[in-house]
């Protein structure tokens, strides 16, 4: 039963995918645009600088305003308390009713003389929860005393009174003053101290001050700083965009011209090179570099073409005298039995060197065809196993001479592909002969494999092997791992280079692995059909085991493909 996804879940998944795509596009745009990175960096630095400067200015203004305001409040409340104490001392209070009237009169006088005082509370110390009736409250904003006279504030005032603080010493607490009419709140401060009432003891007196004016001033400062910050950031963005346009635009043009140059358009140059500034100097230097590169490339192309023509012409011209030498050598070699021993040996050496000379000439001609782009692929459908079996049959005498057991492993199915049999046979022959030459009497294994998109052959030996630098140069022309090494079959140093070119002509790959003392492994991978892109190979290049699977006393085994056997190999056991 198919799984049903609810609509909200699908919508969430789509939104998440959309967000991920947008983030990826933004990251790609940021990484791909130098101008965007410059502007982003400048704006980020500007935001940090403006934020730090604005925070510093705002904090400094706020602290300065609050400190001055608090100093003014402390001085004013001290003066008001001293004046109230003086009134109580100079008045003759006979009973509690007169004391209440005097307190009310003092509070009204404080409210009328101090315009900044929002409320005055006079509380008896024994009143833990003062009520309105216990407090003289000429209130201008409907202030609730229970919300302002907190327990901590009254406890601090009591401790100050018990310590016998100096005259005018006060306690202070920041609070919030609410206006029930306008339903708004403003920051405020409550200042508390003691009030000496003759015959009735000590009372607590609290003054409530509003910091609304300071708050409005600070808000105005914040607005000004915000507008200034926005203007500064806008100015930074405009300046950065202008500077980046003047600096990045020439670099962008240079990058476009450089890309055109890399595509082979050597006539491309930076236009509009005027002025004497750095960008103009860069443009002139770039154009001069392009001119120099064009001249050098043209010289190299002419030299390369001349070298190719020389190699091709010399190779063709040498064929005529070589044919004559071959004919004369064959005549001498056929009559060697009638010659002396030394002359007979010289005739054999002459024939061997003529054969080697013909091989070298053929390799030079083939290399010249690849360099000239004249190599043609004559492809047909063939079984790679048939080609490998034919090569192994021809290489068997050399393997017997070297005492190197030669074994072949074929896949169960046909390894059929569109190949040029002549070129593939040349590649495999080169790999097998090289493996026998360097096996030092140890086994040589040839493995053919196939899958749905490719066929491959691996030639593995267990001889001297190769170091990492040798692996890197093994396909170079005229390169040998050990030039002083004795070779039975001679060689020009062009075999592996031609093999690699043949593999490329088939859109295939020729790869190598080697370790000193553990042998080497060459892998040829070819697509089954033209147009198939090789992403992998049917057989690994690096062997799983470094030990040979065939010893010197074993008979080489060939596993033929399913169906009629192709060319058989004499003296090889077939299973």
pLDDT (tens digit per residue) in 285-313: 888 888 888 888 888 878 777 777 776 67
Per DSSP bridges, beta strands 444-450 and 406-409 are parallel
- Give CB contacts under 8 A, 24+ apart, made by 318-322: 318/361, 319/361, 322/354, 322/357, 322/358, 322/361
- At 554, the pLDDT band (50, 70, 90 cuts) reads very low
Give the integer Cα–Cα distance in Å for 154 and 215. 26
Of 100-109, 218-227, 523-532, the range with the lowest mean pLDDT is 100-109
126 or 490, higher pLDDT: 126
Cβ atoms within 10 Å, residue 279 = 17
What's the length of the chain? 575
Higher pLDDT, 162 or 181: 162
Res. 486: pLDDT tops 80: no
Q: Taken in order 500, 503, 508, 512, is the CA torsion positive or negative? A: negative
Average pLDDT for 81-98: 73
**Domain definitions of the chain by residue range:** 269-375, 377-574
101 phi and psi angles, rounded to 5 deg: -65, -40
Average model confidence (pLDDT) for the chain? 77
Question: What is the C-alpha separation between 19 and 199, in angstroms, rounded?
Answer: 78
Highest mean pLDDT among 78-92, 351-365, 389-403, 481-495: 389-403
Question: Average pLDDT, stretch 513-521?
Answer: 88
Q: Is the pLDDT of residue 456 over 90?
A: yes
Q: Which of 216, 210, 203, 187 is nearest to 119 (CA)?
A: 210
**Range from 150-159, 228-237, 427-436, 475-484 carrying the lowest mean pLDDT:** 475-484
Give the CATH number of domain 269-375: 1.10.287.130
pTM across the whole model = 0.48
Q: What is the pLDDT of residue 132?
A: 34
Determine the Cα–Cα distance for residues 170 and 195; give it in Å rounded to an integer: 11
pLDDT at residue 561, rounded to an integer = 36
Strands 416-419 and 444-450: unpaired
Q: Fill in the DSSP letter of residue 340.
A: -
What residues contact 197, with CB distance under 8 A and at least 6 apart?
88, 93, 99, 103, 203
Strand order in the sheet with 519-527: 509-515, 519-527, 454-461, 444-450, 406-409, 557-559, 573-574
Percent of the chain residues topping a pLDDT of 70: 81
Indicate the range of 67-71, 135-139, 161-165 predicted with least confidence. 135-139
138 has pLDDT over 50: no
pLDDT digits (tens, 9 = 90+) for 306-326: 777 776 677 677 777 878 887
Check residue 85 and give its pLDDT: 80
For the chain, how are helix, strand and coil distributed in percent, rounded to 5? 55, 15, 30
DSSP string, 361-401: HHHHHHHHHHHHT------EEEEHHHHHHHHHHHHHHHHHH
Query: Which of the given ranges, 6-15, 112-121, 145-154, 528-537, has the highest pLDDT on average?
Result: 528-537
Q: How far is CA 23 from CA 14, 20, 35, 41, in A?
A: 14, 5, 19, 18
Q: Residue 455: its pLDDT value, please? A: 92
* pLDDT tens digits, one per residue of 324-352: 887 888 888 888 888 888 888 888 888 88
The label of the residue with tokens 């009520």 reads 131
**What integer is the mean pLDDT of 214-225?**
88
User: Residue 532: helix, strand or coil by DSSP?
Assistant: coil
pLDDT of residue 458: 94
Is the model's pLDDT at 548 over the cut of 90?
A: no
Fold match between 269-375 and 377-574?
no
Query: Any long-range contacts for 541-545 (C-beta under 8 Å, 24+ apart)?
Result: 541/458, 541/511, 541/512, 541/513, 542/513, 543/460, 543/513
CATH class of this structure's domain 377-574: alpha beta
CB distance 36 to 244 below 8 Å? no
Give the span between the Cα atoms of 553 and 546, in whole angstroms.
Answer: 19
How confident is the model over 29-61, as pLDDT tens digits? 777 777 788 888 888 898 899 899 989 988 898
């Amino acid at each position: 039963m198919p799984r049903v996804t609810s609509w909200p879940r699908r919508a969430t998944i789509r939104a998440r995918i959309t967000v991920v795509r947008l983030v990826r596009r933004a990251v790609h745009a940021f990484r791909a645009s130098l101008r965007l990175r410059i502007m982003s960096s400048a704006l980020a630095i500007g935001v940090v600088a403006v934020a730090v400067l604005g925070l510093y200015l705002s904090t400094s203004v706020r602290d300065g305003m609050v400190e001055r305001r608090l100093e003014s409040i402390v001085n004013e409340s001290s003066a008001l308390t001293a004046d109230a104490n003086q009134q109580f001392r100079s008045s003759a209070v006979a009973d509690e009713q007169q004391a209440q009237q005097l307190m009310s009169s003092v509070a009204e006088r404080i409210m009328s003389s101090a315009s900044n005082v929002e409320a005055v509370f006079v509380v008896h110390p024994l009143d833990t929860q003062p009520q309105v009736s216990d407090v003289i409250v000429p209130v201008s904003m409907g202030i609730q005393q229970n919300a302002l006279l907190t327990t901590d504030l009254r406890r601090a005032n009591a401790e100050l009174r018990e310590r016998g603080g100096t005259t005018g010493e006060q306690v202070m607490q920041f609070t919030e003053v609410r206006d029930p009419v306008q339903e708004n709140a403003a920051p405020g401060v409550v200042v508390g101290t003691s009030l000496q009432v003759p015959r009735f003891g000590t009372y607590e007196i609290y003054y409530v001050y509003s910091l609304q004016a300071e708050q409005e001033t600070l808000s105005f400062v914040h607005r000004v700083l915000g507008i200034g910050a926005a203007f500064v950031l806008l100015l930074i963005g405009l300046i950065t965009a202008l500077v980046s346009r003047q600096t990045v635009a020439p670099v962008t043009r240079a990058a476009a011209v450089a890309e055109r140059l890399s595509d082979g358009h050597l006539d491309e140059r930076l236009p509009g090179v005027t002025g004497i500034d750095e960008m103009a100097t860069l443009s002139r230097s770039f154009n001069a570099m392009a001119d120099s590169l064009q001249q050098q490339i043209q010289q190299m192309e002419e030299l390369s073409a001349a070298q190719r023509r020389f190699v091709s012409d010399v190779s063709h011209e040498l064929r005529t005298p070589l044919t004559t030498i071959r004919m004369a050598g064959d005549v001498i070699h056929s009559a060697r039995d009638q010659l002396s021993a030394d002359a007979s040996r010289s005739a054999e050496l002459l024939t061997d060197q003529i054969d080697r000379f013909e091989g070298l000439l053929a390799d030079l001609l083939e290399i010249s065809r690849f360099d000239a782009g004249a190599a043609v692929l004559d492809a047909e459908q063939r079984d790679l196993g048939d080609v490998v079996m034919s090569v192994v049959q021809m290489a068997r005498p050399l393997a017997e001479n070297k005492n190197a057991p030669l074994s072949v492993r074929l896949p169960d199915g046909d390894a059929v592909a569109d190949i040029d049999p002549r070129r593939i046979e040349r590649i495999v022959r080169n790999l097998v002969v090289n493996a026998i030459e360097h096996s030092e009497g140890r086994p040589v294994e040839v493995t053919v494999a196939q899958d749905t998109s490719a066929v491959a052959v691996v030639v593995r030996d267990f001889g001297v092997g190769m170091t990492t630098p040798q692996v890197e140069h093994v396909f170079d022309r005229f390169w040998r791992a050990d030039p002083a090494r004795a070779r039975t079959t001679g060689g020009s140093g062009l075999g592996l280079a031609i093999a690699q070119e043949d593999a490329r002509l088939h859109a295939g790959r020729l790869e190598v692995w080697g370790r000193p003392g553990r042998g080497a492994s060459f892998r040829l991978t070819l697509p089954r059909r033209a147009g198939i892109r090789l992403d992998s190979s049917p057989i690994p290049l690096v062997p799983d085991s470094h030990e040979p699977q065939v010893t010197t006393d074993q008979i080489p085994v060939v596993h033929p493909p399913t169906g009629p056997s192709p060319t058989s190999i004499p003296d090889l056991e077939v299973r």
